[in-house]
Amino acid sequence: MEFLNFLETGLLDFSAWQIVLTVFISVQITLSGVSLFLHREQTHRGIKLHPAIQHFYRFWMWFTTGMLTKDWVAIHRKHHAHCETEDDPHSPQIHGIKKVLFHGVTLYTEERKNQETLDKYGKGTPDDWIERNIYTKFHFLGIFLLAAVDIALFGIIGAAVFAIQIIWIPFFAAGVINGVGHYFGYRNYRTDDSSRNISRFAFFIMGEELHNNHHAFPSSSKFAHKKGEYDLGWYVIKGLNKLGLCEIKKVVPELHIDETQVEFSNETVKAILTHKFNVMQLYIKDVINPNLNSEFESPDKAVKKDIKKYTQQLSLDPQFVKSKWKNKLQANFEANHTMQSLMVYKAELQAIWDNNSMSMEEMIEAFKAWCHKAETSGNKMLQDFAASLKQYKLNPYIS
Same domain, 164 and 290: no
Continuous segment of H or E residues that includes residue 106: helix 97-112
DSSP string, 58-94: HHHHHHHH---HHHHHHHHHHHHHTTTSTT-TT-HHH
Same domain, 29 and 172: yes
Distance CA 226, CA 248 (A): 20
Distance CA 79, CA 88 (A): 5
Read off the pLDDT of each residue in 166-181 and give the average, rounded to a whole number. 88
Q: What angle do CA 32, 36, 41 make, to 5 degrees?
A: 160
Rounded to the nearest 10°, the torsion over CA 100, 104, 110, 115 is: 100
Same domain, 6 and 104: yes
Distance CA 393, CA 270 (A): 8
Count of domains in the chain?
2
- Specify the pLDDT at position 225: 87
Q: How sure is the predictor about 339, in pLDDT bands with cuts at 50, 70 and 90?
A: confident
Taking 3-state DSSP, the helix, strand and coil percentages for the chain, each rounded to the nearest 5, stand at 65, 5, 30
Distance CA 208, CA 223 (A): 8
Same domain, 263 and 225: no
Same domain, 208 and 295: no
Same domain, 207 and 81: yes
- Specify the pLDDT at position 322: 60
Q: Which residue has the higher pLDDT, 352 or 311?
A: 352
- Structural domain ending residue among the three candidates 248, 281, 306: 248
Read off the pLDDT of each residue in 151-169 and give the average, rounded to a whole number. 91
Cα distances from 135 to residues 61, 244, 300, in angstroms, run 10, 27, 63
- Specify the pLDDT at position 226: 83
Cβ atoms 366, 358 nearer than 8 A? yes
Contacts of 222 (CB under 8 A, 6+ apart): 231, 234, 237, 251, 252
- Specify the pLDDT at position 399: 45
Q: How sure is the predictor about 82, in pLDDT bands with cuts at 50, 70 and 90?
A: very high
Read off the pLDDT of each residue in 55-79 and give the average, rounded to a whole number. 95
- Considering only CA atoms, which of 61, 62, 70, 55 is closest in space to residue 32? 61
Read off the pLDDT of each residue in 375-390 and give the average, rounded to a whole number. 93
Read off the pLDDT of each residue in 297-308 and give the average, rounded to a whole number. 71
Taking only the tens place, the pLDDT of each residue in 46-61 is 999 999 999 999 999 9
Position 120 pLDDT exceeds 50: yes
- Specify the pLDDT at position 212: 93
Same domain, 71 and 197: yes
Over pLDDT 90: what percentage of the chain? 57
Same domain, 133 and 228: yes
- Specify the pLDDT at position 7: 65
- Structural domain ending residue among the three candidates 222, 248, 274: 248
Average model confidence (pLDDT) for the chain? 88
Distance CA 91, CA 36 (A): 22
Range of the domain at 160: 2-248
- Specify the pLDDT at position 398: 47
- Considering only CA atoms, which of 62, 57, 31 is closest in space to residue 140? 62
- Considering only CA atoms, which of 243, 203, 276 is closest in space to residue 35? 203
Q: Which residue has the higher pLDDT, 317 or 106?
A: 106
Amino acid at 4: L
Q: How sure is the predictor about 335, in pLDDT bands with cuts at 50, 70 and 90?
A: confident
- Considering only CA atoms, which of 168, 148, 167 is closest in space to residue 158? 148
Same domain, 264 and 358: yes
- Specify the pLDDT at position 330: 66
pTM of the prediction? 0.79
Position 41 pLDDT exceeds 90: yes
Cβ atoms 159, 146 nearer than 8 A? no
Same domain, 263 and 355: yes
- Specify the pLDDT at position 307: 72
Amino acid at 269: V
Same domain, 217 and 289: no
Distance CA 171, CA 388 (A): 44
Cα distances from 372 to residues 1, 258, 362, 378, 383, in angstroms, run 88, 19, 15, 11, 9
- Considering only CA atoms, which of 302, 349, 351, 348 is closest in space to residue 329? 302
Position 249 pLDDT exceeds 50: yes
- Structural domain ending residue among the three candidates 248, 272, 289: 248
Cβ atoms 283, 363 nearer than 8 A? no
- Specify the pLDDT at position 295: 73
- Specify the pLDDT at position 48: 98
Contacts of 311 (CB under 8 A, 6+ apart): 284, 285, 288, 289, 292
- Specify the pLDDT at position 5: 64
Read off the pLDDT of each residue in 88-104 and give the average, rounded to a whole number. 91
- Considering only CA atoms, which of 191, 27, 198, 179 is closest in space to residue 88? 179
Q: What φ, ψ does residue 250 adopt, rounded to 5°?
A: -135, 120
Same domain, 225 and 351: no
Position 40 pLDDT exceeds 90: yes
